[in-house]
Structure 1
Amino acid sequence: MTGTGPNIPIIDFGPFMSGFYGDRKLVAERMRKASTDWGFFYLANCGMAADSLTQAFMASRQFFALPLAEKNLVAWQNAESNRGYVGVKRERLDPARPGDLKEAFNLAPEEPGAGVPKNRWPQGHPGFRKVMTHFLDDCINTADRVLEAFALALQQPADFFVRAHDKHHHTLRLLHYPPLPEGFEPADGESRAGAHTDYGSITLLFQDDVGGLEVRTRAGEWLRAVPIPGTVVVNTGDLMHRWTNQIFCSTPHRVNVAPECRHLDRYSIAFFCHPNKDAEIVCISSCVGEHQPALYPPTTAGQHLQEKLTNTYGT
């Protein structure tokens, strides 16, 4: 069942950016409630320049318009790298369902040193690399501010989460959901993106105006997360779920094949904020107590991500 209400919270991040403690604390408390009740919220006034987002979407459309043979020259190769082009149906976000009706391109901050994975940039398109590198930096800056707010909400030092993410082991993912052919009928369980939770700490999701994202409520209803101009969708992932002892929930979501938009191209950009691979994920002290014992054993962020990607791609 899919509905349109109740409403996913919309939070104005401007007061947190202003630097006044009382305002920052109020915003942090709202983010905590939204992350506990929903695991999702819309963030307005996050400080990202509108033209940076516009250029990123334009560059994404240009990449996906390239011939398939050219995109396959930079194809995704393995979970260790997790970079490059992912073809339609190559990925199964819900392992029990058919491959997703989408294509994607993954990139990440590039680290110096021999043997370190590098981005698989398409040759002959230097503008694409420049735009995406700039947008990736914007996403990192925004995510760090969100992580500061989460730390305040959980009574931790301001840099608690930022320090655990300072090696920038993040992934930026461009997504294209091609229009479905006239008369196309999805196979059993087939969708644009199967139901799943995200793997890392937080995700920043930028949508075009087509829509299709659906979020599962605590009651089990699928609710449409309609695009709201000037906002970014923020959700908490599996590692934040573990870190906070389920205080911040990792909520299942999907991209459905809605009848009214099945003939349209849909584009989105997701920034998956992931802790340093060697970061130990242990329940935060303020999230455990006499009547709230730790529910998960310690793990490392790298081990967790490797397991999740292996399940997704079957490699």
Structure 2
Amino acid sequence: MDEGTLNASAIPIIDFGPFLDGFNKHEVAGKMVSSFKEIGFVYLMNHGIPTEKSAEMFEWSKRFFAQPMEVKKLAPHPPSGAHHRGYSSPGQEKVVQHVYHPDAIAEQRAQAPDVKESFECGREEDELQPNIWLPEGVLPGFKEACLDFFWLCHGVELNILRALAIGLGLSEDYFLQYHTDPRNQLRLLHYPSVPTEGLETEKIARIGQHSDFGSITLLLQDDVGGLEVEDPNVAGSFCPAPPIPGALVVNAGDFLMRWSNDTIRSTIHRVRAPPQNRSVDGMTPERYSIPYFCCADFTTVVDCIPGTWSAERPKKYEPISAQEYIMKRMLATY
């Protein structure tokens, strides 16, 4: 990839089928790791999430966000980001990038608000972050659909981690031993229709520029568009990562980048107005997406992956536990 030439076509589209059926594991794994080293993002086809399952989850998401505000607030997200579960209303969360001091967090939160609403859940038996559901009888079937989709995504996550391990020259189960206790987060996102001019002038934001902070993120998006990825060679230059029918967007998070001694990139991205002028009467259409954030076991203490450091390429970071790192990042968002 030449400097300054990142565009949508620079994010590879990879058929994951030959990895899943064992036909050509090493070639697929090599392509994935190459993309993660260069761009930090990849589109996966034949990834293991059936089209009908993703369509069903999007329908549940639309049904949930169509509920009156007083109903959605029956499953309220706690005030602290340390407990990332339940419903967040527009403007409640402000994504910040590597900012931890209270004054700096307040300064970033005072900028254009993130005009989105979300619902988050994890596995039921997570004692650190228990799920927060709507009361029994309100939107029947929603809880079951979310949990079913959570575990479906978890299975896909493990296959992707297997591929990354092979691509890095490690044993196939290398990352699996550190992902045995899923502290993952399924997030349903709804971006209401907003004035296009407000997005273009950055008076309002859908999600400001940020990197994810776990191991990897899986993303399903509707056909509206608006996701943009920063060119890793040109700071501040972004290109669209448009929806591709049937594709799963996968990107590396900061924790994996640190784990790999910066061999793998965790790339800045954001959500703005769609690249095409799709506004109607000056309003950008509403958008839905479903990210699934994956992180290592909280007991994992990250040092550098074998093969990513040497005397000529020394370790850049001190060891840190997944729990310490993830919680620090979560607390900054609320």
TM-score range (shorter-chain normalised) is: over 0.9
In 1, Cα distance between equivalents of 2:35 and 2:203: 30
Give the match for residue 233 of structure 1.
249
Residue pairs, 1:1-315, within 5 angstroms: 4-20=7-23, 23-77=24-78, 78-94=80-96, 96=108, 97-111=111-125, 116-123=128-135, 124-181=138-195, 188=202, 190-218=204-232, 219-220=234-235, 221-258=237-274, 259-261=277-279, 262-313=283-334
Unaligned 5+ runs, structure 1: none
TM-score, with structure 2 as normaliser: 0.88
Give how far 1:18 is off: 1.1
In 1, Cα distance between equivalents of 2:17 and 2:154: 17
Q: What CA RMSD, in Å, does the superposition of the two structures yield over aligned residues?
A: 2.0
Give how far 1:189 is off: 5.3
Query: Is the contact between residue 41 and residue 249 of structure 2 (CA under 8 Å) also seen in structure 1?
Result: yes
The percentage of aligned residue pairs carrying the same residue is 36
In 1, Cα distance between equivalents of 2:51 and 2:196: 35
User: Which amino acid in the other structure matches residue 21 of structure 2?
Assistant: S
In 2, Cα distance between equivalents of 1:66 and 1:292: 53
In 2, Cα distance between equivalents of 1:268 and 1:68: 20
Give per-residue Cα distances to partners, 1:54-100, cap 9 Å, x unaligned: 11000000000111111112111133321011111111113523320
Change (3 A) 1:106 1:11: same
In 2, Cα distance between equivalents of 1:248 and 1:185: 31
In 2, Cα distance between equivalents of 1:148 and 1:3: 28
Give how far 1:7 is off: 2.5
In 1, Cα distance between equivalents of 2:240 and 2:177: 34
TM-score, with structure 1 as normaliser: 0.93
In 2, Cα distance between equivalents of 1:182 and 1:34: 32
In 2, Cα distance between equivalents of 1:275 and 1:237: 11
Query: Is the contact between residue 44 and residue 250 of structure 2 (CA under 8 Å) also seen in structure 1?
Result: yes
3-state SS of paired residue (2:278): helix
Change (3 A) 1:73 1:163: same
Query: Is the contact between residue 88 and residue 101 of structure 1 (CA under 8 Å) also seen in structure 2?
Result: yes
In 2, Cα distance between equivalents of 1:153 and 1:74: 41
Change (3 A) 1:190 1:155: same
In 1, Cα distance between equivalents of 2:230 and 2:330: 22
In 1, Cα distance between equivalents of 2:241 and 2:259: 25
Give how far 1:290 is off: 1.9
Give per-residue Cα distances to partners, 1:205-225, cap 9 Å, x unaligned: 000000000000122320100
3-state SS of paired residue (2:262): coil
Change (3 A) 1:226 1:182: closer
Give how far 1:310 is off: 1.3
Q: 183-192 vs 156-165, which deviates more? A: 183-192
In 2, Cα distance between equivalents of 1:256 and 1:51: 27
Unaligned 5+ runs, structure 2: 97-104
Query: Is the contact between residue 182 and residue 295 of structure 2 (CA under 8 Å) also seen in structure 1?
Result: yes
User: Which amino acid in the other structure matches residue 260 of structure 1?
Assistant: R
